[in-house]
A and B are shown apart, each in its own frame.
Chain A
Amino acid sequence: MLLFQLQPSFFYNREDIFTWVFMQTGLHKWLLNNKTGCILFDVLFYTTPAIYLLHFRASRRTAYVSAMWMLIVNWAYVQCYTLYPSNSIEGHIAWLLFPLVFIARKDKTFWLLLDGLRYFFLFFFASAGLWKLRQGGAFDHLQMSGVLLYQHSQLLTNSPGYWQSKFIMWLVQHAWVSYILYLLATLVELSFITGFFTKKFDRVLVALFILFLIFDNLVMRIPYYEVLPLLLPLLPGTGKTNSDATLAPEPTI
C-alpha cells in the first residue's frame, strides 16, 4: 500500500458521511498528480509507528500523544488511499482501528481495548455470514456461479486457457459444487459467533480465517491480507493475557 505507486489522478466518492466531512479538508484533491505529496504522505504513514515506538520507550506516560497522532495519520491516509482506484475501505479496517489500543494510558485499559478489537473482529467476520442469510445469497444454489462469473469476467474472457480460468469455469459449470463452497464459507463466517461466548476455540478461528484468506486469493483472486492484524487479539499468548487483564498490574509511571 503506497500512494506513490497509485499516482492518483482522480477520486471515486463513496456513501460515507465521515468521508464527505473529511473531503472538506481537500487533502484528497491536493494529492492528485502530486508525486512529492504522495511520497511525503507515504513516508509519514510508514514512519509514524516507529515514532510511536520511540516515544513509548522514552516516556510511557506521554506516548498516548504519538498514538493519537498515529490514529489521525492512519485515518487520513486510508481515507485518501481508498478514495483512489485501489480497493475498499472495509479491507483497511485494521489500519483504522488498531492505533486506538495504543492511546490507552494504563495497561489494564490497553488489554481491555485489545479485547474489544477481538470482539470487533468476531463481529466483522460473523456479520458477513449473517448478511448472507439476510440478503439471500446463502439460499440460492446459483449464487457462487454468479459470483465467480461476475468476479472473473475479465480473466475468463481474456485468458480462457489458463489453469485458473479452467478451474473457475469448472466451478461455474458445477453449480452445486461451487454452492457448497459458498455455504462452507458462510458456515466458517458464522462459526465466529462462538468467540463471543468462549475463547477456547480462538486458535481454531485463527486457522479458519487464514484458510479463508488463502481460498479468497486462490478462488476469488481477492487479496484480503490487510485485515490480518485483527487476528492478533485471538493469538494464544494475547488471549491468555486478555483473560488476566483485570489482574494485570498498573504500570509504574
Chain B
Amino acid sequence: MYLKRLYAANKWWFAIITLFIIIQLAMDIRQDIMLSPVYHYGMYSEVIEPENEYTVNEIAVNGIILQTKDFSPYQWDKISFPVKLFQNQQSWDSFVWNTEVKRLLKLSDSAKYINAITQQEFNEWYRNYLSIMLHTKIDSVNIKPVTYMFNGTTFIKKPG
C-alpha cells in the first residue's frame, strides 16, 4: 500500500500527504470554501439546461464587432474575460470580503480584497490592452451587453 511505503520511507512526507488527503475529502464533503491546493474538480457537473435567453457582451473595436471565430480559444478568453470579470468584480469582491474574508481572517481593512479601479480607468486600460493584442491602433471600443432569445434552433436578438 502506497501510504505504508511512504511511512516507511519518510514520516514527514507521510504526514503531509495524509493531511492533504484528509483536507481534500473534508472539502469535497463540505462543498464550500476551498483551501489551495485542494480544489473541487467539477468540470460542468452541476445541471445546466438550455435557457430561453442569453446575455452576451458585444465588443466593437473601431465600430466593428469582434467575432469569436477570428481568435483562438486562448486569445478569445483574453479578450472576453476582462470585460466579464470587470462587470462583476465590484459586487463579487465586496460579497466575498463582507461575508467571508472579514469574518474568517478577522480583518478590518478591505484594500487588498476590493479593487479601486473605476469604469473610466478600465476603459482606458482595455483600449490599450486590445490595441496590443490586436496589433492595431484603436480609436474606439464599445462594449454592449446584448440579450438573445433562444428558440431551440436559432438565436434572435432581443430588441432594445
Q: Which residues of A contact B (CB under 8 A)?
A: 5-7, 9-21, 23-24, 26, 28-29, 33, 75, 79, 85-87, 89-90, 93, 96-97, 104, 106, 108-109, 112-113, 115-116, 119, 123-125, 127-128, 131-132, 134-138, 140, 142-143, 145-147, 149-150, 153-160, 162, 164-165, 169, 172-173, 189, 217, 221-223, 245-246
Contact = CB atoms under 8 A, between A and B. Distances in A.
Interface of B: 2, 5-6, 9-10, 13, 17, 24, 28, 32-37, 39-51, 54, 56-58, 65-70, 72-74, 76-78, 80-82, 84-86, 88-89, 92-93, 96-97, 100-101, 104-105, 111-113, 115, 117, 121-122, 125, 128-129, 132, 146, 148, 150, 152-155, 157
Given A9-B117, A113-B13, A87 B48 contact: no
A17 B35 contact: yes
Most buried by A among B34, B37, B101: B37
Contacts of A123: 24
Contacts, number: 213
B10 A23 contact: no
By secondary structure, the A interface counts as helix
Given A109-B9, A137-B48, A125 B54 contact: no
Given A106-B9, A108-B9, A17 B113 contact: no
A17 B23 CA distance: 13
